[in-house]
Structure 1
Amino acid sequence: MASTPRAMANRALFQAFINCYLREFDSGHWLSSHEALDDKKNSENSFLVLELPFSRFSIVMEVAYYSVVGCHHFERIFSKPCNLIIDSEWAESDPLFILQIIIHDIYQSFRSSIEGSINSDNAIEKSKENEIEFLARLVDSAQVMAKFISSRSYDDELYSVDFLLTEQSSLYGHWLHPTPKSRQGMAFWALNAYSPEANGKFKLHYFSVDKNLIKQGSVLKHKASDIIKKDLHSTVKLDIPEHHFLIPIHPLQACFLKLQPWVLELLEQEKIIDLGALGVEFTPTSSVRTVTHREAQWMYKFSIPVKITNSLRSNMRDELEDGMAVERYLRKSGFLKENPSFGIVDDPAYITIERPDQPNVESGFEVILRRNIFSGEAGSGVVSILALAQDPLSSGCDLKVKSLLQHIIFDIAKSEGRTHKAVALDWFSKYWYCSIEPLILLYDQHGIALEAHQQNSLLDISGGYPRKYYYRDNQGFYLSLTHKKELSVIDEMSAMSDIFYQDEVIFEAISYYIFINQLFSIVYRMGADDLVEEKVLLIKIRELLISIKSKLKGVGLYFVDHILSCNKLSYKTNLLARVHDIDELHEGMERKVYATLNNPLHSQSSVTSIEVLDLGVVTNFNDKRDCYAI
């Protein structure tokens, strides 16, 4: 059983990667314990067999926990080369070694499929570059995860129900991503200072900037520049030229910006003045690039020169205005008052620099001001779905170690004198009514769909049970064309053509974000923790979806019918995106990274069929190749 931080990290990385692989490439061949190979018959677990024809390797994985929604746990891993002359022996194998073989097999499969086609030489050379890039991110993710696990192994704060502490607790990362902790662009020496998982703290880097270069916006009584000045001057008295404004920047981004020729020119002209690190120390939240400190009124969301999961994390110019406009509409619509258990962490102001040589494009100085509604004691009891659903800090296959959610359920059950299952079912219902149901109602009533994935979804569980849900992200809005006239009462929204979509497209996106990413993570967590079987929760979700239909009158009704009756759900193919080195946020490729997998909520599913449901492979690799930038 894995015990060292490196072994624990490799196991967790293997679990995340293989579950992606099973969904996106090859669902494998399942064996019951009595069908397994002779030297493994001492196990009561089932086994999963993968054949890698291009690498000439066979892999057998012992499945410690089978997940209906696709987050299986794996224990022992065996492999052997497939040689037609010599019959090799099965050998227990290192997880990272197996992942390297699988990655090579994926690329070999692609190169074989295009060999001899038009421009195949260029495509093959590009695929070799992508393979090296993927391997680099894989190793980076393993190293970073091991570092965090090593530093936090005996940290009781991992199980604290507190906004800031749980923002720093995601040691394993994205459960639907093959390299969940890759931080490409962040040097290893910088991890302690700038990573939430390492309890990083640092001062912001400030620039004094000529007013003529500034572009800013605010829906508040005060400008962003006034808020920033007041925020800094509460701790530091600073004299800057009268015609200048202050801009705080993440230290990593400041280093990047000071290497840009146009910035160096403005620094030389003193239109930009480098003030260095100032003020109090801030702490990164789980997104890494949004920072806060416990008593601050404002968080700052920065661009940083780091690729996290699939994308370089940058604030885009159009998104600066979008978040403010949508938040203004929500408050004007009355939806938040009508649904007091549902809230938005708003981003009401921004500031940036207009590049003299390229106006109206991202300069890298884009800063978003996010209201810190969790400052001080207000953060007590607030936790992200990501933190709740994360596997406990263990070998990855030891189901006896409690997750944060299991700790919470056990505490409630003890205080109420009830069974864990009864409490878990009640907890799940309260979670549904303050999060999933309002998300569907918002889309139905106002045509606003949110990318409400685990990391962007916060719950107030200060009383044990969920009582309020908060959504955070000024980049995650989809507006329905069906509601465009209504939404255009806010002038800025009428010009947002790039975030208005046909409802069929919106169905695809929020099927993934709300159901597969967020809701199914809670289903998996309760199942893996032996609180409530996954199949029982899937049946409950169907009942809740049927029940909510009486409250729906528009696009939300069609969406619920889609979820209940469609035999496929849209899924974001993070592994395929990584294979092709796609940054979907920066290449106009976001819709290209979606495919479909079998829907465990499909109306034809019964208790029996759900129990043995195979989520299947989302797409055939070769069928999908034309959709990607090879």
Structure 2
Amino acid sequence: MKSVTDKIALQHLINSYLQETGNGRFIALAEQSQQLQNQSQRKTVLCIPLHTLSAFLYVPLEYVSKVGRHRFADLPWVEQEGQGIKISAVNLAANLLENLTIQENDKQLDTSSLLECWIQSRRALQQFINYREEQIDEVVALEQNFIQSEQALVLGHSMHPAPKSRQGFVQDDWQLYSPETKTAFKMHFLYVHPDQVIHDNAHNVDIPSQLKQDLEPFFNAYHHAKMAEYPDYALLPLHPWQARYLKDKDWYQQLLHEGKLIDFGALGWEMKATTSVRTLYSEQAPWMFKASMTVAVTNSIRVNLYKECHRGLLSYQLWNDHCLADFRQRNPRLQTISDPAWIALKVNGQVLDETICILRENPFKPSDDVTCIASLCQDHPFEAQNRFSKIFAHISQQTTQSQSEVALQWFDRFLEMTILPLLELYHEFGMAFEAHQQNTLIELEEGMPRNVWFRDNQGFYYIEELASEILERFPTLATDGQAVCPLALVDERFRYYFIGNTLFGLINAIGMTGVVKEQQLIEMLQAYLIKAYQKYPESNLLKTVLHQDTFPYKGNLMTRLYELDELQADIAQQSIYVNLKNPLYVAQTVVEAEYA
């Protein structure tokens, strides 16, 4: 089991390193010596120099990708002066990361924090795989409902060096609050003086009253007595981890001492953590709860921000506004999951971000086959397959189509539902989503795409050069929501999040099934983009995606190395982007000749 964990953890790190530094080369079978062929299992080998050891890292590849993520056939090994040396996974990771100090030409650069995160992520990964070992095939089950899919993401972000790092979790937290362990728990509720509470929602419903009504079946005699004594107090939901964390705050103790805060404890529905860790779901609850957690999950401390509360309300109102009515009618399969309500504590007139709880729409029934793209694209930890392997085989058995035909049809249908409508939103309304694999949900019907949702208003953007109609109707998107950004920045985000992360992720995962080549899927995507470019010939976004030989890609390794927080930092300085060879590149003269 340890070797499986080491292989996956090193695969995450090495793929990130190779992509962001370009510091490595592939050795095809024909170029390998007999000795290397024996060690490589007659597969393509990736070779990376380890400068600190004057050595080379070698890893045999089960799958080589055109869009970034390579699947390892076995554990890497290290050779020094042509001789293999014994080295642990942690030591190998440490030496690989030390390469970055040379790559960045910065002797002051400290890789220890990133190494610590990688070790923590690796340890968590081993714990999760051990915990799920007897039911591990569930992660690639043919059908999964929303929460099954959310809790199936055992391996995490495939192009992040430490996808399971959670700085702040200690001891039993990993098992109690992680989606990977499938544990259910109750939220923690405070009962708070109305002067200390702030809330709003897009439905013109009083949130404290709504919570009291929804939670009525769960109140005990103590709760009823306190509510009778203080009928105007409001219920404030917290993640139980956050409730424990906040109890040491001076303001908490002061409010408790003054009788303005009463601890109601664990209460309500059995909640389950989703892929983001801090967003909680129950089949019975009318909402999902996106709670603040002062825990650094991958690149960011997951505390809600006051501006995001406004952004959620405004985005909900906009999506349901008449200015998008025609678009929605023409594209009924493309939807958003909105965050139309929120509640928080305020002390001395200041909203405490660490107490903000956002209430998210909860549209899914347990019978719905709904999955986030990240979970859909995930490998089986032990076998060379993913969920697409099961889906394509099943559809092929039910029809007369080959698996290759099914795969091409699946991807084409997904593109038809998403790429052209999203580009219309972008160019004609000035609206864009940070639609990465985790934030993009897809409902399947008999295995084929039926509906797509985009979630998380942290990544809803409005382009100042293009969104004039929207901003005229909703001017506070720029002020309260702080969601208006310049075209160049949104170009960068859309290119990476939807194309580089989600679409390249799908191309990689479908290609890994072996039923079609990645190049076939790339050409299918190119055709859609060319069609869009003909409709929007002035689009710099489409021009760069198609005709620029490099592609700006978010570097999770570098972002984590420089300890940038993607949620707290200024939007223009949240992450580091690197330029990669563009797999979608097509010469402009070729397009002009073909479509002349």
- The TM-score normalised by the length of structure 2 is 0.92
Letter in 2 for 1:19: N
Deviation >3 Å, runs of 4+: 91-97, 107-110, 359-363, 552-555, 589-592, 604-607
2:573 and 2:200 mapped to 1: Cα distance? 27
- The equivalent of 1:285 in structure 2 is 274
Report SS of the residue matched to 2:134. Answer: coil
Which of residues 501, 508, 525 in structure 1 aligns to 2:492? 508
Letter in 2 for 1:338: R
Which of residues 353, 356, 373 in structure 2 aligns to 1:366? 356
Q: Is the 1:382–1:462 Cα contact (8 Å) retained in structure 2?
A: no
1:27 and 1:105 mapped to 2: Cα distance? 9
Letter in 2 for 1:368: I
- The equivalent of 1:157 in structure 2 is 138
RMSD: 2.1
| C-alpha displacement of 1:220 | 0.5
1:461 and 1:114 mapped to 2: Cα distance? 48
**1:136-147 equivalence runs, <5 A:** 136-147=116-127
Which of residues 424, 442, 454 in structure 2 aligns to 1:441? 424
- The TM-score normalised by the length of structure 1 is 0.87
Which of residues 484, 507, 525 in structure 2 aligns to 1:523? 507
**1:72-471 equivalence runs, <5 A:** 72-76=70-74, 77-81=76-80, 87=81, 89-91=83-85, 94-107=88-101, 113-114=105-106, 124=108, 127-128=109-110, 131-155=111-135, 156-158=137-139, 159=141, 160-236=143-219, 238-239=223-224, 240=227, 241-332=230-321, 333-334=324-325, 335-356=327-348, 359-377=349-367, 380-394=368-382, 398-399=383-384, 402-471=385-454
| C-alpha displacement of 1:208 | 0.6
| C-alpha displacement of 1:331 | 1.2
The verdict on how the C-alpha distance between 1:166 and 1:10 changes in structure 2, with shifts beyond 3 A counting, is same
The verdict on how the C-alpha distance between 1:578 and 1:108 changes in structure 2, with shifts beyond 3 A counting, is same
Q: Is the 2:342–2:357 Cα contact (8 Å) retained in structure 1?
A: yes
Q: Is the 1:55–1:105 Cα contact (8 Å) retained in structure 2?
A: no
Q: Which has the higher contact order (CA 8 A, sep 6+)?
A: 1
- The equivalent of 1:40 in structure 2 is 36
- The equivalent of 1:479 in structure 2 is 462
2:188 and 2:379 mapped to 1: Cα distance? 35
- The equivalent of 2:522 in structure 1 is 538
| C-alpha displacement of 1:438 | 2.2
Q: Is the 2:146–2:366 Cα contact (8 Å) retained in structure 1?
A: no
Give yes or no for the alignment of 1:21 onto 2:11.
no
Give yes or no for the alignment of 1:493 onto 2:477.
yes
Q: Deviations over 1:286-330 (max 9, x none)?
A: 111010111221110001121111111110110101121022112
The verdict on how the C-alpha distance between 1:225 and 1:54 changes in structure 2, with shifts beyond 3 A counting, is same
| C-alpha displacement of 1:37 | 4.1
| C-alpha displacement of 1:530 | 0.5
Letter in 2 for 1:319: E
2:204 and 2:313 mapped to 1: Cα distance? 14
1:109 and 1:493 mapped to 2: Cα distance? 41
Q: Is the 1:447–1:483 Cα contact (8 Å) retained in structure 2?
A: yes
Letter in 2 for 1:373: P
Q: Is the 1:453–1:513 Cα contact (8 Å) retained in structure 2?
A: yes
| C-alpha displacement of 1:490 | 2.1
Q: Is the 1:295–1:376 Cα contact (8 Å) retained in structure 2?
A: no
Report SS of the residue matched to 2:514. Answer: coil
2:134 and 2:358 mapped to 1: Cα distance? 35
The verdict on how the C-alpha distance between 1:494 and 1:173 changes in structure 2, with shifts beyond 3 A counting, is closer
Letter in 2 for 1:528: M
- The equivalent of 2:593 in structure 1 is none
Report SS of the residue matched to 1:90. Answer: strand
1:382 and 1:592 mapped to 2: Cα distance? 30
Q: Deviations over 1:28-73 (max 9, x none)?
A: 1222223224422233212222112234222122222110001112
2:120 and 2:8 mapped to 1: Cα distance? 14
Give yes or no for the alignment of 1:65 onto 2:56.
no
Q: Is the 2:462–2:484 Cα contact (8 Å) retained in structure 1?
A: yes
| C-alpha displacement of 1:153 | 2.0
2:255 and 2:286 mapped to 1: Cα distance? 31
**1:562-581 equivalence runs, <5 A:** 562-581=544-563
The verdict on how the C-alpha distance between 1:66 and 1:284 changes in structure 2, with shifts beyond 3 A counting, is same
Report SS of the residue matched to 2:507. Answer: helix
| C-alpha displacement of 1:91 | 4.1
2:484 and 2:165 mapped to 1: Cα distance? 32
Identity of aligned residues (%): 28
| C-alpha displacement of 1:282 | 0.6
| C-alpha displacement of 1:8 | 1.6
Q: Is the 2:553–2:577 Cα contact (8 Å) retained in structure 1?
A: yes
The verdict on how the C-alpha distance between 1:266 and 1:52 changes in structure 2, with shifts beyond 3 A counting, is same
1:515 and 1:444 mapped to 2: Cα distance? 16
1:605 and 1:517 mapped to 2: Cα distance? 24
Report SS of the residue matched to 2:355. Answer: coil
Instruction: Give ranges in structure 2 of 5+ residues lacking alignment.
Output: 591-596
- The equivalent of 2:580 in structure 1 is 597
Q: Is the 2:161–2:556 Cα contact (8 Å) retained in structure 1?
A: yes
Q: Deviations over 1:318-370 (max 9, x none)?
A: 010112102211211213233101111111100111121xx445441101001
2:517 and 2:88 mapped to 1: Cα distance? 31
1:606 and 1:427 mapped to 2: Cα distance? 30
Instruction: Give ranges in structure 1 of 5+ residues lacking alignment.
Output: 82-86, 116-123, 608-630
2:429 and 2:102 mapped to 1: Cα distance? 48
| C-alpha displacement of 1:540 | 1.0
- The equivalent of 1:617 in structure 2 is none
Letter in 2 for 1:56: S
The verdict on how the C-alpha distance between 1:284 and 1:592 changes in structure 2, with shifts beyond 3 A counting, is closer
- The equivalent of 2:594 in structure 1 is none
Report SS of the residue matched to 1:498. Answer: coil
Report SS of the residue matched to 1:455. Answer: coil
* 155-164 or 451-460, larger mean C-alpha shift: 155-164
Report SS of the residue matched to 2:153. Answer: coil
* 481-490 or 171-180, larger mean C-alpha shift: 481-490
Q: Is the 1:325–1:493 Cα contact (8 Å) retained in structure 2?
A: yes
Report SS of the residue matched to 1:243. Answer: coil
1:375 and 1:221 mapped to 2: Cα distance? 25
Report SS of the residue matched to 1:205. Answer: strand
- The equivalent of 1:613 in structure 2 is none
Letter in 2 for 1:79: V
Q: Deviations over 1:390-414 (max 9, x none)?
A: 01121xxx52xx3112211111111
1:310 and 1:19 mapped to 2: Cα distance? 17
Q: How many residues align?
A: 573
Q: Is the 2:337–2:454 Cα contact (8 Å) retained in structure 1?
A: yes
Which of residues 8, 27, 34 in structure 2 aligns to 1:12? 8
Letter in 2 for 1:381: D
Q: Is the 2:67–2:508 Cα contact (8 Å) retained in structure 1?
A: yes
